[in-house]
């Protein structure tokens, strides 16, 4: 099977790329070649900027793939471009959406694809993904079959999971724990949150590539591992031998101090999110939900301990964090 990934070196896509190589898939990555990759000698490379439409069009003119996956399409303009570029060059186009696009507040649990609509007014990222889905499904073009996959919170062996941590500098929270500084717990930490290990995700994802049963349909793809935020805090606390106390703060007040995190806080992580994966299991016989965060949290901490170059601190984030703790201690 010939597959093209647009991207392919991100948190989720790296695990899928790795498994695809192991399974002998004829894989090509299209990216700018600016991120070093362990796969450079194991896959074909198309070095090009996906945003340079003319260059990609020229590169694609004699190519055809069984499936094309765009890991970095976020707006309607992106998927409109992909339709122009890839129609006639693939038997299946796979769009990576997000489970955060489901209706908020969530009307029922567990979430199923046909009982819970897409409607998240709190987060622009989620709303844009919803618009992409509507555009793609609205094409109704039999010459351009579409499959939509909605991941939830997917993590790898460098993911420090918390409702509030610096995205570009995740060691920031570990550093606080190691220094036994107070840690903010939004609300009471009782909401149940689903976490999906990226290597588990990869197995079911590969099942949908080239799978005609998945054409012109949509699926969330999550694990069946869920935890309260309090449980996740205690996992990190134990892994770092921390004595950090908790400071309970209403999530709306946190969003005021961290407006750049408002979408994820108010539009995603404030309430429980549990998923029924029955639909994806019907088309993905290798669906896997094996790894729990408790299985890898010590490995995550050790990874940062062994990689001092990644022990970076987000000073602006830390300043705002300290000010918020001071207001509520």
Lowest-confidence range among 25-39, 131-145, 306-320? Answer: 25-39
Say if CB 72 and CB 13 are below 8 A apart. no
Say if CB 287 and CB 277 are below 8 A apart. yes
Q: Which residues of 128-161 are buried (b: 16+ CB within 10 A; e: fewer)?
A: bbbebbebbeebeeeebbbbbbbbbbbbbeebbb
In degrees and rounded to multiples of 5, residue 218 shows phi and psi of: -135, 145
Residues 206 and 181 in one domain: no
Q: Which residues contact 195 (CB under 8 A, 6 or more apart)?
A: 152, 153, 154, 155, 161, 223, 225, 226, 227, 292, 293
146 strand-pairing partners: 93
Count how many domains the chain has. Answer: 2
Residues 206 and 234 in one domain: no
Residues 63 and 146 in one domain: yes
In degrees and rounded to multiples of 5, residue 201 shows phi and psi of: -50, -40
Using the predicted structure, report yes or no on whether residue 39 has a pLDDT greater than 90. Answer: no
**How far apart are alpha carbons 284 and 211 in whole angstroms?**
9
Residues 78 and 15 in one domain: yes
Residue-range definition of the domain harbouring residue 312: 157-193+226-273+291-322
Tell me the pLDDT of the chain averaged across its residues: 96
Could you tell me the pTM of the whole model?
A: 0.96
Residues 46 and 141 in one domain: yes
Tell me whether residue 280 is in a domain. Answer: no
**In the prediction, which pLDDT does 34 show?**
62
DSSP 244: P
Per-residue pLDDT tens digits for 292-329: 999 999 999 999 999 999 999 999 999 999 999 999 98
Tell me whether residue 29 is in a domain. Answer: yes
Higher pLDDT, 319 or 34: 319
We report the CATH number of the domain holding residue 136 as 3.40.50.720
Q: How far is CA 78 from CA 6, 51, 66, 199, in A?
A: 12, 8, 21, 27
């Amino acid at each position: 099977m010939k597959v093209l990934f647009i991207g392919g070196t991100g948190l989720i896509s790296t695990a899928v790329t790795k498994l695809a190589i192991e399974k002998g898939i004829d894989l090509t990555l299209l990216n700018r070649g600016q991120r070093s990759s362990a796969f450079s000698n194991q896959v074909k490379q198309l070095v090009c900027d996906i945003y340079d439409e003319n260059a990609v069009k020229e590169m694609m003119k004699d190519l055809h793939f069984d499936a094309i996956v765009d890991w970095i399409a976020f707006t309607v303009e992106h998927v409109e471009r992909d339709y122009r570029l890839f129609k006639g060059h693939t038997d299946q186009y796979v769009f990576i959406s997000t489970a955060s696009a489901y209706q908020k507040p969530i009307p029922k649990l567990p979430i199923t694809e046909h009982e819970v609509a897409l409607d998240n007014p709190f987060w622009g990222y989620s709303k844009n993904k919803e618009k992409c889905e509507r555009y793609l499904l609205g094409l109704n073009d039999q010459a351009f079959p579409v499959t939509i996959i909605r991941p939830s919170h997917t993590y790898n062996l460098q993911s420090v999971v918390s409702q509030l941590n610096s995205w570009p500098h995740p060691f920031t929270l570990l550093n606080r724990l190691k220094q036994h500084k107070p840690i903010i717990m939004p609300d009471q930490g009782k909401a149940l949150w689903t976490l999906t290990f990226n290597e588990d995700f990869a197995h079911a994802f590969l099942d949908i590539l080239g799978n005609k049963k998945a054409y012109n349909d949509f699926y969330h793809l999550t694990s069946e591992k869920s935890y309260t935020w309090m449980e996740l805090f205690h996992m990190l606390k134990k892994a770092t031998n921390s004595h950090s106390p908790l400071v309970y703060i209403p999530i709306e007040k946190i969003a005021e101090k961290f407006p750049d995190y408002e979408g994820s806080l108010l539009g995603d992580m404030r309430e429980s999110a549990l998923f029924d994966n029955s639909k994806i299991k019907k088309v993905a016989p290798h669906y896997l939900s094996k790894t729990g965060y408790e299985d890898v949290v010590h490995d995550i901490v050790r990874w940062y301990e062994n990689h001092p170059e990644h022990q970076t601190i987000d000073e602006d984030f830390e300043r705002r964090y300290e000010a918020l703790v001071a207001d509520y201690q």
